[in-house]
Amino acid sequence: MSKTLFEKIAAREIPAAIIYEDDLVLAFHDITPQAPTHVLIVPKKPVPRLAEAQPADHALLGHLLLKAAAVAKTLGLDQTGYRLVINNGPDGGESVPHLHVHLLGGRKLAWPPG
């Protein structure tokens, strides 16, 4: 099975503007930003999508969200607000079959989204 785009970024096979990394997750700027700040937070473990996460992924999922909040704070988004988005499946807007969180901020975000 071939690696996903995000696995290649984590393996440094594809360059990315990485702003945070630990043993479990990687955060980097999206190459097609949908807001002034658009960062992807990706688990290094290749979980295809949230719907396919297993009970054993419980701690990883919590870590993913906590690190998204920490990255938002580092970027100063905690002062004005931000949005976290997880797409699941084609109709949900998923374009890479590897679980990831979109961190969007830097402007007022409308509701409902797209």
Q: Return the domain boundaries, the chain.
A: 5-105
Sign of the Cα torsion 27, 82, 86, 57 reads positive
Segment 23-28 mean pLDDT? 98
CA distance linking residue 42 with residue 20, whole number of Å: 10
The reply to whether 100 belongs to the active site is yes
Q: Is 80 exceeded by the pLDDT of residue 6?
A: yes
Residue 29 confidence class, pLDDT cut points 50, 70, 90: very high
Q: Are 41 and 105 in contact (CB under 8 A)?
A: no
pTM score, whole prediction: 0.94
Q: Write out pLDDT tens, residues 8-20.
A: 999 999 999 999 9
Say which of 29, 63, 98, 100 is annotated catalytic. Answer: 100
- What pLDDT band is residue 114 in, cutting at 50, 70 and 90? low
Class of domain 5-105 (CATH, top level)? alpha beta
- Residue 49: pLDDT band (50, 70, 90) is very high
